[in-house]
Amino acid sequence: MKRFVIILFACITLFASPKIHAQVSSKQIDAIVKKAMEDFTVAGVAVAVVKDGKIIHQKGYGLKSVDSNGKVNEHTNFGIASNSKAFTTTALAILVEEGKLSWKDKVVEHIPEFTMYNDYVQQNFNIQDLLTHRSGLGLGIGDLMFFPDGADFTIDDIIASFQHFQPESAFRTKFDYDNLLYLVAGEVIARVSGMPWEQFIKERIFKPLGMDNSYASLTYINDKSNVASPHISEGKELSLTDPEQWDPKKINGAAGSIYSNVNDIANWMLVHLNRGKYGKNLEHQLFTEESQQEMWKIHTVLNPNRNPRYNSHFAGYGLGWRLTDIKGNMSVSHTGGLIGMLSKTTMIPDLDLGIIVLTNTWMDGAGVFSAVSQTIVDRYLELDDFDWVRFYSERMQQKGGEAEEVVKKVWETVESANSENLDLKNYIGIYEDVWFGKVEIYLEGNQLWFKSHRSPKLKGPMHFYKANTFVVKWPDSGLVDADAFAMFGLDEEGKGQAIKMKGISPAIDFSFDFQDLNLKRVNDD
């Protein structure tokens, strides 16, 4: 689900040319992972590789938590975030095959109260539109309703929210990654099947595939002794942070709440590589090959990577999967990111190859999952060696350094700003956005504070920047790189009437969509 990882690394996913006799040993995979963990600061990693219908490698590396020193193994559960989306699309495929819905059904046929930003889009929005990031709405719009976690928004709030958003492109013409519409898809599953998304995933996917240690939500894991803890890396230092989790009674997890492990996800990759079949002799069928072709068909076009080493001609998004070609071979992949939990699934069907990499560290885990998965693919394709670890390390350092410089300059301006003649009382009051609800600007001593009424983690001190702009500093450790500008609109008396916001850091996760808020004063208290 989250978020920045998908944008940063999906655009540089590179693969190579096949030679069918290539094999990679567990010892070689160990060395690949070890090299990545030496260069990137991560607590733990787990990797599984399936090839030619068999699990040839599944192993954990490093620590579940830097506090306990418990070791990661192949059964250690990680949050797989947006890799959950393919489970949602598979659930819908099952319902399509049972004749309970059609891919082209209009959403309003199943959720009559579903809204969109205009009547034409609302009446024509179909099931596949929920899954393909082509709604016309901007990147990550509305994600503040459930990022950070702990907010009180419900699925009903989300279903009603889309009428309030302004489109950024024409309907079905442009890719902009979206989480909220996957939550609507989860509600479609609930209404059509008669059971919550979480129960459907457990009963209809986990159980048949023997994914006995996978859970639709962290909430359902009673024994957390083998659950990886989320970490944040700062330089060579690691710190623990709280896991992101949502109440499934309020909002389903269809966009990214699954917790799983490499042992179970190996079975998940095998069923896809076997075109929906599973079992010792592939005697069972979870979904048909026709459904897989629909999930692995480009529905929204993306720009392919033009690196001549890989000669990719196309790229796009299917139903819960990213698709491209690698020297004539199809590549099917997805990334996932929660704060402290980063993952990547890669399948090359023409090679009968699947790779899953799970990590429990933000953001260096993204470097690990990219370098490890791509190095393994290169080995199977018998390419000349390429130092992916160095490639991603340098890229992350460059981008991180650029972001740090931007943030540093902002805080330097704050420290030197003269606010002696500023009357902070002009800014206090209640401001409201039509989809996000109310926020309160108030004084505590001589300090101005921002507080969301519906998302309690969005509370922090406001520091004068310049003109009518303040910087909000979020104390919560999970809001990494999420500090934001708050720009006040004033009346003729200099009193705040409105607030627009935007993130400060170029590295801000796109789910912190402060730029989509339009806060207006509703109360002078």
- Report pLDDT digits (tens) over 444-475: 999 999 999 999 999 999 999 999 999 999 99
What is the reported pLDDT for 524? 58
- Please check the confidence at residue 65 and state whether its pLDDT lies above 90: yes
Q: Which two tokens stand for residue 337?
A: 């990111």
Q: Quick one: average pLDDT of 21-28?
A: 87
> Burial letters for 74-99: b for 16+ Cβ neighbours within 10 Å, e otherwise?
bebbbbbbbbbbbbbbbbbbbbbeee
Q: Quick one: average pLDDT of 40-65?
A: 98
What is the reported pLDDT for 11? 42
User: How far is residue 164's CA from residue 187's CA, in Å, rounded to a whole number?
Assistant: 20
What is the reported pLDDT for 501? 98
Set out the domains of the chain in order of their start, with CATH numbers. Answer: 4-386 (3.40.710.10), 424-523 (2.40.128.50)
Which residues, other chains included, contact 83 with Cβ-Cβ below 8 Å and sequence gap of 6+? 256, 258, 265, 334, 335, 336, 343, 344, 345
Q: What is the pLDDT of residues 203-225, one digit of tens each?
A: 999 999 999 999 999 999 999 99
- Please check the confidence at residue 509 and state whether its pLDDT lies above 50: yes
310: confidence class by pLDDT, cuts 50, 70, 90: confident
Q: What is the pLDDT of residues 106-164, one digit of tens each?
A: 999 999 999 999 999 999 999 999 999 999 999 999 999 999 999 999 999 999 999 99
What is the reported pLDDT for 374? 94
pTM: 0.95
Q: Quick one: average pLDDT of 178-193?
A: 98
- Please check the confidence at residue 476 and state whether its pLDDT lies above 90: yes
Q: Is 509 helix (H, G, I), strand (E, B) or coil?
A: coil
Which residues, other chains included, contact 112 with Cβ-Cβ below 8 Å and sequence gap of 6+? none
What is the reported pLDDT for 429? 97
> Burial letters for 127-148: b for 16+ Cβ neighbours within 10 Å, e otherwise?
bbbbbbbbbbbbbbbbbbbbbb
What is the reported pLDDT for 6? 43
Quote the percentage of the chain above a pLDDT of 70. 95
Q: Quick one: average pLDDT of 368-393?
A: 94
Quote the percentage of the chain above a pLDDT of 90. 91
Q: What is the pLDDT of residues 402-438, one digit of tens each?
A: 999 999 999 999 999 998 899 999 999 999 999 999 9
Instruction: Tell me the average pLDDT of the chain.
Output: 94
- Please check the confidence at residue 5 and state whether its pLDDT lies above 50: no
383: confidence class by pLDDT, cuts 50, 70, 90: confident
Place of tokens 């129960």: 199
- Please check the confidence at residue 294 and state whether its pLDDT lies above 90: yes
- Please check the confidence at residue 4 and state whether its pLDDT lies above 70: no
CB 42 within 8 Å of CB 64: no
CB 258 within 8 Å of CB 87: yes
Backbone angles phi, psi at 443, to 5 degrees: -100, 135
| Residue in 187, 373, 130 with CA at minimum distance from that of residue 269 | 373
Q: Is 72 helix (H, G, I), strand (E, B) or coil?
A: coil
Q: Which two tokens stand for residue 315?
A: 């790229």
What is the reported pLDDT for 283? 98
DSSP string, 393-419: HHHHHHHHHHHHHHHHHHHHHHHH---
